[in-house]
Amino acid sequence: MLSDSDIELAELAGAFIHELKNHISTLNLNLQILAEEFEEAQNPRERRVLDRIQRLQGECSRMVDVSNDFNRFARLVNLNSRPERIDKILGEVLDFFGPTARANNIEVRTFFPSDLPLVRLDSEVFKQAILNLFLNAFQALPIGGEITIQVNIEQNHCVLRIIDTGHGMPPEVVSRVFKPYYTTKPGGSGLGLATTKKIIEAHGGSIGVESEPKRGTCFTISLPLLNEVTG
């Protein structure tokens, strides 16, 4: 549960981002009008102008994406949690992710016990966290590979592991991977894994990562079982 000051700061950040996106939209609209003036460029100078306009439009789109990522990170407040089966939620995310994985030669393997107990989750918010981890694994497998998803019950917790056979990460990256705005990916906002960590901790859980270069990565999420939450 966040404090009143945290909630107020999140609301202020959300209002700021909304205002910023309004200005970006105005800028992008004017760039679109300007691009139409040079749509049929007749000489090298006009083609250079059109190229620069299109680059600016791309930067506007990038700013909107970064703003949306920040908004999701900053405005995570109270959750609408209820008893859920984690394997059901994972299955729904896999239904969404599966076609993309198959198209990119990625095999997804799942190991779920048949009698999993309930955990208390905000399913829509939790799906966002899992999708971030799937996308991270996907990006680590540019030429295909395997993603393994395991769920076990360990010491009154539901433990989820997402393991990929990708390129892995060196220790200096592993130590910073959950920090906001830290990224090694061109064009990345550095908020995906930071948001995932914030979501897991808002559910009373924890997340960790193990990785080595050329040996893949394993993200481990631990969530308290329902009876541990409610007592």
**Confidence (pTM):** 0.71
Check whether 77 has a pLDDT greater than 60: no
- Whether residues 115 and 146 share a domain: the answer is yes
pLDDT for the residue numbered 9: 61
Structural domain count of the chain = 2
Q: How many CB atoms lie within 10 A of CB 112?
A: 17
Q: Which is it for strands 106-111 and 145-154: parallel, antiparallel or unpaired?
A: parallel
- Whether residues 104 and 54 share a domain: the answer is no
Average per-residue pLDDT for the chain: 84
Last residue of a domain, one of 35, 50, 74: 74
pLDDT for the residue numbered 230: 45
Q: How confident is the model at residue 148 (pLDDT cuts 50, 70, 90)?
A: very high
- Whether residues 132 and 66 share a domain: the answer is no
- Whether residues 87 and 55 share a domain: the answer is no
CA distance 150 to 227: 22
- Whether residues 58 and 132 share a domain: the answer is no
- Whether residues 59 and 95 share a domain: the answer is no
**For residue 107, how far is the Cα from the chain centroid?**
20
pLDDT for the residue numbered 212: 92
Domain housing 11: 4-74
Residue type (1 letter), 38: F
- Whether residues 130 and 213 share a domain: the answer is yes
Residue that wins the pLDDT comparison between 70 and 20: 20
- Whether residues 65 and 150 share a domain: the answer is no
Q: Which is it for strands 145-154 and 157-164: parallel, antiparallel or unpaired?
A: antiparallel
Residue that wins the pLDDT comparison between 80 and 224: 224
- Whether residues 61 and 86 share a domain: the answer is no
Last residue of a domain, one of 45, 74, 103: 74
CATH number at residue 171: 3.30.565.10
pLDDT for the residue numbered 192: 82
Taking only the tens place, the pLDDT of each residue in 13-67 is 667 676 777 888 888 888 888 888 888 888 888 888 888 888 888 888 877 777 7
- Whether residues 17 and 129 share a domain: the answer is no
- Whether residues 107 and 168 share a domain: the answer is yes
Taking only the tens place, the pLDDT of each residue in 45-60 is 888 888 888 888 888 8
pLDDT for the residue numbered 219: 97
Q: How confident is the model at residue 231 (pLDDT cuts 50, 70, 90)?
A: very low
Exposed / middle / buried, residue 139 (Cβ in 10 Å: 0-12, 13-18, 19+): middle
Check whether 228 has a pLDDT greater than 60: no
- Whether residues 155 and 201 share a domain: the answer is yes
Residue that wins the pLDDT comparison between 66 and 130: 130
Continuous H helices in 75-203: 86-103, 123-139, 171-174, 192-202
Last residue of a domain, one of 53, 74, 95: 74
Q: What is the mean pLDDT of residues 117-125?
A: 90
